[in-house]
């Protein structure tokens, strides 16, 4: 089967995309609104993009606007998407924290993925403890083994429609590592029971691993 994205319904293309590009790490992003309202939400379009400068990026999708009845005689208007609370908060404050998600935290992470009103504190919804950050104002997830405090580096807006999204690039300004996951002074990757997002409602654990030695090219 060979397909062209522009010739597919969005739902069909999206299904191929998230099923094939997997597993995807999860950015559990905590942020604050300009008025100081906490927010916590997961995003699976996420990765490290540069070590110097130290940059992480995640891509929040736009939400579809709430449906309203057509106005008689009015011309058809292409609807704009609605920015998620996380994206709006980062535009306002230029700060956020990316918390890493373990298998133990999977259920709590999922609880924070709901389409809640901006006045709702997802830390409270998921019964999560928060801890103060060192540099930025948003608090981090206390139970997360690694949290990256970030200052906004850049936002790239791709499509303002309800099927579009943006790319948020943050510069890491401080890292919290739970000492239980340190071995000889370094982060012990083997002790991190991380999860990744697959297609649909599926997730995977990173507990089954293998090593491959890179070839030496003379």
Quickly state the pLDDT bin for 111 (edges 50, 70, 90).
very high
CB burial of residue 11 (10 Å; 0-12, 13-18, 19+): exposed
Please check whether residue 138 is in contact with residue 97, taking contact to mean a CB–CB distance below 8 angstroms: yes
User: What does pLDDT average to over the chain?
Assistant: 93
Query: What percent of the chain shows pLDDT beyond 90?
Result: 84
Q: Give 189: exposed, middle or buried? Use CB within 10 Å, 0-12, 13-18, 19+.
A: exposed
- pLDDT of 87: 97
- Average of per-residue pLDDT across 86-114: 98
Confidence of residue 65 (pLDDT cuts 50, 70, 90): confident
**Terminal CA-CA length for the chain:** 40
3-state DSSP assignment of residue 26: coil
Q: How confident is the model at residue 79 (pLDDT cuts 50, 70, 90)?
A: confident
Topology adopted by domain 5-64+78-205: Pnp Oxidase; Chain A (2.30.110)
Q: How confident is the model at residue 75 (pLDDT cuts 50, 70, 90)?
A: low
For residue range 10-51, what is the model confidence (pLDDT) as tens digits? 999 999 999 999 999 999 999 999 999 999 999 999 999 999
How would residue 80 be classed by pLDDT, with cut points 50, 70 and 90? confident
For the segment 153-196, what is each residue's pLDDT rounded down to a tens digit? 999 999 888 889 999 999 999 999 999 999 999 999 999 999 99
Region for 192 from its dihedrals, namely left if φ exceeds 0, alpha if ψ lies in -120 to 50, beta otherwise: beta
Whole-number pLDDT of residue 128:
98
Using 50, 70 and 90 to split pLDDT, how confident is the model at 77? low
Q: Which residue has the tokens 């609104």?
A: 33
| 187 SS3 class | strand
**What's the rounded Cα separation, in Å, for the pair 116 and 98?**
19
Tell me, letter by letter, the H, E, C secondary structure of 126-142.
Answer: CCCCEECCCCCCCCEEC
| Residue 153 confidence (pLDDT) | 98
pLDDT band, residue 112 (cuts 50/70/90): very high
Residue 71 clears pLDDT 80, i.e. is over it: no
Q: How are beta strands 130-131 and 140-141 bridged, if at all?
A: antiparallel
Q: Would you state the structure tokens that stand for residue 210, as one six-digit string? A: 């293998």
pLDDT of residue 163: 87
């Amino acid at each position: 089967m060979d397909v062209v994205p522009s010739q597919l319904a969005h739902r069909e293309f999206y299904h191929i995309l998230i099923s094939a590009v997997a597993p995807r790490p999860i950015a559990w992003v905590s942020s604050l609104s300009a008025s100081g309202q906490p927010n916590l939400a997961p995003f699976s379009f996420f990765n490290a993009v540069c070590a110097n400068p130290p940059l992480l990026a995640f891509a929040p999708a736009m939400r579809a606007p709430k449906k309203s009845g057509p106005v008689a005689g009015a011309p058809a208007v292409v609807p704009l998407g609605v920015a998620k609370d996380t994206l709006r908060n980062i535009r306002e404050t230029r700060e956020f924290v990316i918390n890493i998600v373990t298998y133990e935290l999977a259920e709590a992470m999922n609880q924070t993925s709901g389409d809640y009103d901006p006045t709702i504190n997802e830390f409270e919804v998921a019964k999560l403890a928060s801890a103060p950050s060192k540099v930025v104002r948003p608090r981090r997830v206390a139970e997360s083994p690694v949290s990256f405090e970030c200052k906004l580096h850049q936002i790239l807006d791709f499509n303002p429609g309800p099927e579009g999204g943006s790319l948020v690039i943050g510069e890491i300004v401080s890292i919290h590592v739970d000492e239980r996951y340190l071995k000889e002074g370094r982060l012990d990757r083997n002790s991190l029971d991380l999860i990744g997002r697959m297609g649909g409602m599926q997730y995977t654990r990173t507990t089954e691993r293998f090593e491959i030695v890179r070839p030496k090219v003379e």
